[in-house]
């Protein structure tokens, strides 16, 4: 099959209107992948499965440079971000992020800080008749990650910064008001962090109450690219945001965890015990089961072949993620929420569970913050299970047409009491 000859009408509108269901529906109609189409105005091929993920995350086959649409870069990742690089430039920049986000002690410190912030916040929730879990969790995590990164926030600053971090994620895959809020949020936060970067470089930020030695802010500010060049101030601000922004996005997963505990309360008792193995298994199942990343895109690095498909250089390659996480060939009973499938840990195959990318985070495009996501979600899910609350009547539907999606009402709870510490 020659993918250069078999093309369909542009599918961008279908992707925008169907959301997470677009690729699964397309593959059902076509009898499986690969499927040729046009997407974002370009020739495209849609791939699915563990072998496809292995192909996609091999830089000999697929590159990211120039693949990401401008509106996504301008809202979610930022201009000059590591996500837009390939080859040696990508490896050098990625090494910086890996050193910050995959250090076990650093990850543990961040998770502990988030747990402490949750404990403080949840005590105040008991005094309210209505707590929107999504918003409050985003604020808890924002306060924790900004402090951990070396740029602590005052009480009055937290809501606005958290709202901006959420807006960047919420508006990347849409047009209209959500998209423009995301752009404005990124501009504000890039400007704020750029000032902190310059202060570090001028050594105007004291170690005790500003950017401590070893902090993410200081490490990025002083980082040198290949050839010994420092990052320009804007790009440094972008990369600091690429640490704190996706960390705040764990609020989506925690809200999904609440949704799971509401639908399947039999998991609450096991989670309450605080058993680390069960908490991690529950976390992996939340990440597998619930919709967050619908698909990822790259460009064919050269004329390449996948199975019986000839793919021309420059073709847009779209890898199914949501459908992958619900493929019965990979996950028996994929629409059953079952943490037991992960009691022995995540799959040995790094291309099986891919909510944050496939392969090796140190050398490829897998998210280096995955360990942070797992640690934060496990820490906060245990606390959520221990929280005494009721779920009042509300819209708990999770619309698959919206990217990124979440329970329609943000998951409102009425907290009765919060445990101490």
Q: Taking residues 235-240, what's their average pLDDT?
A: 95
Using pLDDT thresholds of 50, 70 and 90, give the confidence band for residue 407: very high
> Is 60 exceeded by the pLDDT of residue 58?
yes
Bond preceding residue 34 cis, omega within 30 of 0: yes
> Is 90 exceeded by the pLDDT of residue 87?
no
Whole-number pLDDT of residue 421: 56
Task: Domains for the chain: give ranges and CATH numbers.
Answer: 12-386+404-417 (1.10.630.10)
> Is 80 exceeded by the pLDDT of residue 167?
yes
Cα distance between residue 240 and residue 101, in whole Å:
12
Q: What is the pTM of this model?
A: 0.93
Residue closest to 271 by CA, chosen among 171, 351, 152, 383 = 383
> Is 90 exceeded by the pLDDT of residue 8?
no
The winner for highest mean pLDDT among 63-72, 73-82, 288-297 is 288-297
Q: What angle separates helix 158-170 from helix 177-201, to the nearest 10 degrees?
A: 120
- The DSSP annotation for 151-182 comes to ----TTTHHHHHHHHHHHHHTTT--SHHHHHH
Work out the mean pLDDT of the chain and round it to a whole number.
Answer: 92
Contact 47, 319 (CB under 8 A): yes
Stretch among 59-68, 141-150, 367-376, 404-413 having the lowest mean pLDDT: 59-68
Whole-number pLDDT of residue 66: 77
Q: What is the pLDDT of residues 116-146, one digit of tens each?
A: 999 999 999 988 889 999 999 999 999 999 9
Cα distance between residue 289 and residue 270, in whole Å:
19
Whole-number pLDDT of residue 260: 98
Using pLDDT thresholds of 50, 70 and 90, give the confidence band for residue 4: very low
């Amino acid at each position: 099959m020659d993918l250069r000859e078999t093309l369909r009408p542009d599918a961008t509108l279908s992707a925008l209107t169907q959301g997470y269901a677009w690729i699964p529906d397309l593959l059902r109609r076509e009898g499986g992948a690969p499927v040729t189409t046009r997407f974002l105005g370009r020739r495209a091929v849609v791939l699915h499965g563990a072998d496809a993920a292995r192909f996609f995350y091999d830089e000999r086959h697929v590159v990211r440079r120039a693949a990401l649409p401008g509106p996504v870069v301008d809202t979610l990742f930022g201009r000059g971000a590591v996500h837009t690089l390939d080859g040696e430039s990508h490896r050098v920049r990625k090494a910086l992020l890996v050193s910050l986000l995959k250090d076990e002690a650093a990850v543990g410190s961040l998770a502990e800080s988030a747990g402490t912030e949750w404990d403080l916040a949840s005590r105040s929730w008991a005094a309210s008749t209505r707590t929107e879990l999504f918003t409050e969790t985003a604020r808890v995590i924002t306060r924790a990650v900004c402090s951990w990164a070396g740029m602590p926030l005052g009480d009055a600053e937290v809501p606005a910064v958290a709202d901006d971090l959420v807006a960047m994620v919420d508006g990347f895959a849409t047009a209209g008001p959500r998209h423009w809020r995301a752009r404005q949020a990124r501009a504000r936060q890039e400007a704020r962090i750029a000032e902190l970067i310059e202060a570090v470089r001028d050594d105007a930020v004291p170690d005790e109450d500003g950017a401590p030695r070893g902090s993410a802010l200081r490490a990025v500010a002083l980082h040198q690219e290949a050839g010994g060049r420092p990052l320009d101030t804007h790009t440094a601000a972008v990369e600091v945001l690429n640490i704190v922004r996706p960390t705040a996005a764990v609020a989506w997963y925690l809200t999904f965890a609440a949704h799971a505990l509401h639908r399947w309360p039999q998991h609450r008792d096991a989670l309450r015990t605080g058993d680390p193995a069960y908490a991690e298994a529950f976390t992996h199942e939340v990440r597998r089961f619930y919709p967050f990343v619908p698909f990822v895109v790259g460009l064919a690095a050269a004329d390449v072949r996948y199975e019986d498909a000839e793919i021309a250089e420059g073709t847009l390659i779209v890898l199914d993620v949501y459908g992958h996480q619900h493929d019965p060939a990979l996950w028996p009973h994929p629409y059953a929420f079952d943490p037991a499938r992960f009691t022995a840990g995540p799959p040995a195959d790094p291309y099986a569970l891919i909510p944050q990318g496939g392969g090796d985070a140190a050398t490829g495009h897998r998210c280096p913050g995955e360990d942070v996501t797992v640690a934060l979600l496990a820490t906060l899910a245990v606390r959520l299970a221990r929280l005494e609350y009721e779920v009042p009547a509300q819209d708990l539907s999770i619309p698959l047409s919206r990217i990124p999606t979440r329970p329609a009402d943000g998951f409102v709870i009425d907290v009765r009491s919060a445990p101490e510490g």
